[in-house]
Structure 1
Amino acid sequence: MSDKPTNEDFLRLADPMRRELLAHCYRMMGSVHDAEDLVQETYLRAWRAYDGFEGRSSLRTWLYRIATTACLTALDSRNRRPLPTGLGAPSTEPTAPLVQDNEVPWLEPAPDALTGAGADDPASIVTSRESIRLALIAALQHLPPRQRAVLILRDVLRWKAAEVAEAVGVSTAAVNSILQRARAQLSEVSPSLDDPVEPLNEEQRAKLDRYVAAFQSYDIDSLVDLFTKDAIWEMPPFIGWYQGPQTIVELTKNQCPAKRSGDLKLVPVAANGQPAFAMYLRENGVYHQFAIMVVTFSGDSISHVGMFHEQRLFETFGLPSTLESEASATK
């Protein structure tokens, strides 16, 4: 009698890998919603094919191979997911009218709770902060799908070239060539990816506290001292992007609907292994969902802010759509 597990065993054996597979599909797709759909498709395909699984590779490797194929197939009919900086236009003046484009499939942030980013156990190495950070996900979108897959499998998951070749359907020699091109292009579009990702130090935490306080008290001018000199602010689905501390401050003063202390409330969340906040805007005594903000540090200052105005992200992050103001709560 064979000791091979049956289909009934499949979910028990495969379910512990769901978060890392979601992280893999997110790196490929740039969308946590697309990633969730493709993980479901991966599990369905694997369950249906499990009778034919011969164990020549580990179950994990087999599942990653199925997930990669599913992502590559999906990417055949989908455009890349950029941030505004990835559209190729120059930086925008802070007083220019905001232009919104809902036809662009924008990059999305991913909650750490779904991908396992920042977890401490050794099994979570494939969902480490470095491999899920927003800058990397944005840079990967510049690569053609097969280059993206090869680079992720080789440089993030540390697969052997022969394993990658089987997963993407090319020769081992082709894998090495594709990887070389992918690394070169990635270095060109985002040279800062070589910088190590470390937990926030004391100075960074202090600046992050000041950053939150500045928004909540509407002390916008104090933001100038918190950014690097070439800091970037972008906020899909608006197509503009803004560079430099003074520009960011002017943008906030001119375009943000908040106008006084208490109009904004920032709730800490965790996204892409980075500091992040759910921003709520007060209206008629109630705070309404406004944007998910992901913050990137370079040294001891903020170098990038992504403000994501996709409202369904609040549900993805497990957040309520509204919060009561303190004044309302005490009545």
Structure 2
Amino acid sequence: MADAGIDDFAQVAERYRPELRAYCYRMLGSVDECEDLVQDTYLRAWQAYGGFEGRSSVRLWLYKIATNTYLNVLQTRKRRPLPSGLGAPADSGAVALAPAQSDIPWLQPAPDSLLYGATDDPAVVVSVRSSVRLAFVAALQHLSPLQRAVLLLRDVLGWQAGEVAEMLETSTPAVNSALQRARARLAEAGPTLDELGEPTEPELRDVLDRYMAAFEHADVDALAELLRADVELEMPPIPTWFTGRDAVCAFLARVVLHTADQWRLAPTQANGAPALAMYRRAPDGSFHAHGLDVLSLAGGRISRIVAFNDAALVAKFGLPEAFVAPGS
């Protein structure tokens, strides 16, 4: 391929990388795997660009390559669940935790910077945000790979049925049939996009400030005031999970919030939602990355906490792995 062709490909294709990255993340539920899939998509497209005849748009062509690469990958991959997708919640906050199950390919949170790219366009952010929420991405994992792709392409990204049929090299009726089955299955697994509400900025700031203070002061009562009565707490890779304010607070008081000044929290954004990097005090007084809490809010209170107990996640959000607090 001539250098001019290479330069032309980069110019016309690179603009679609952020949206393809978000698309691949929704399908796979993994930051690492979505990056690999996007890289593979661009490599395949670059290699084939010399034969691209322009019968469709470059954007549709890239989505076709990404979708078919994804369908091949998913033939040998398991779905990525959260603990609530594997079994019932614990009976009470006094239940002993099951051992961590690192052999399960758990759903991973994604930094907003990866999902939105460098855009500061509020319209782009709002259009993407609800469809990358953890609850929605987890629900997508209950669909077959084909249903997942069709639903995302039609209902989230707005492609026409004929365009999706072209991507999948199938018929329009086949696409419509897959979409109907996907919608029915998603309605069972929930949530719908309409159920993923947006807190106001003042609400969000207030909840985050109070959540951070409650953890840093080991104040379970203050934390309880922030939680809905039906709040859920999940902690992958631990399969045990809790539902209900009393059970969640009892567990946190028993296992997590023993002594003040053992935690430091740093706010960030994951999956279009508020998140906090969690740091735990070491014996020498420094704080080391412990994991990432992703919060869902409804009615000004926290409805769900997904506490990813994976210290390596913190660096993926551009935050330090350790630090020394002033006065330590």
Task: Report the more deviating stretch, 197-206 or 68-77.
Answer: 197-206
Q: Secondary structure at the match of 1:47?
A: helix
Is residue 126–residue 156 contact of structure 1 (8 Å, CA) maintained in 2? no
TM-score by length of 1: 0.92
**Residues 12 and 19 from structure 1, CA distance in 2 versus in 1: closer, same or farther, beyond 3 angstroms?**
same
Shift of the alpha carbon at 1:12? 2.6
Is residue 199–residue 299 contact of structure 2 (8 Å, CA) maintained in 1? no
Is residue 149–residue 168 contact of structure 1 (8 Å, CA) maintained in 2? no
- Give identity over the alignment, percent: 49
Shift of the alpha carbon at 1:219? 0.6
Q: Secondary structure at the match of 1:76?
A: helix
Q: Equivalent residue for 1:150?
A: 150
Q: Equivalent residue for 2:105?
A: 105
**Residues 194 and 126 from structure 1, CA distance in 2 versus in 1: closer, same or farther, beyond 3 angstroms?**
closer
1:58-114, CA deviations, whole angstroms, 9 ceiling, x for partnerless residues?
111111111111111111110000000001334353222222100100000000011
Instruction: Confirm or deny that 1:84 pairs with 2:83.
Output: yes
* Alpha-carbon distance in 1 for matches of 2:267, 2:321: 15
Shift of the alpha carbon at 1:196? 4.8
Is residue 118–residue 127 contact of structure 1 (8 Å, CA) maintained in 2? no
1:32-60, CA deviations, whole angstroms, 9 ceiling, x for partnerless residues?
11000111101100000101111112111
**Residues 122 and 275 from structure 1, CA distance in 2 versus in 1: closer, same or farther, beyond 3 angstroms?**
closer
Amino acid of the structure 1 residue aligned with 2:51: G
Amino acid of the structure 2 residue aligned with 1:185: R
Q: Secondary structure at the match of 2:211?
A: helix
Q: Equivalent residue for 2:235?
A: 235
Q: Equivalent residue for 2:251?
A: 251
Is residue 285–residue 327 contact of structure 1 (8 Å, CA) maintained in 2? no
**Residues 93 and 268 from structure 1, CA distance in 2 versus in 1: closer, same or farther, beyond 3 angstroms?**
same
Task: Report the more deviating stretch, 150-159 or 161-170.
Answer: 161-170
Residue segments in structure 2 that go unaligned for 5+ positions in a row:
none
* Alpha-carbon distance in 2 for matches of 1:209, 1:119: 26
Q: Equivalent residue for 1:278?
A: 277
* Alpha-carbon distance in 1 for matches of 2:8, 2:85: 44
1:144-188, CA deviations, whole angstroms, 9 ceiling, x for partnerless residues?
100000000001110000111122233111111111111111111
TM-score by length of 2: 0.93
Amino acid of the structure 1 residue aligned with 2:84: T
* Alpha-carbon distance in 2 for matches of 1:133, 1:242: 20
Instruction: Confirm or deny that 1:323 pairs with 2:323.
Output: yes
Matches within 5 A, 1:152-231: 152-191=152-191, 193-231=193-231
1:203-251, CA deviations, whole angstroms, 9 ceiling, x for partnerless residues?
3432332112111111112221211111111010000110011111111
Amino acid of the structure 2 residue aligned with 1:306: V
**Residues 165 and 122 from structure 1, CA distance in 2 versus in 1: closer, same or farther, beyond 3 angstroms?**
farther
* Alpha-carbon distance in 1 for matches of 2:268, 2:106: 20
* Alpha-carbon distance in 2 for matches of 1:327, 1:129: 38
Amino acid of the structure 1 residue aligned with 2:78: N
Q: Secondary structure at the match of 1:107?
A: coil
* Alpha-carbon distance in 2 for matches of 1:217, 1:245: 19
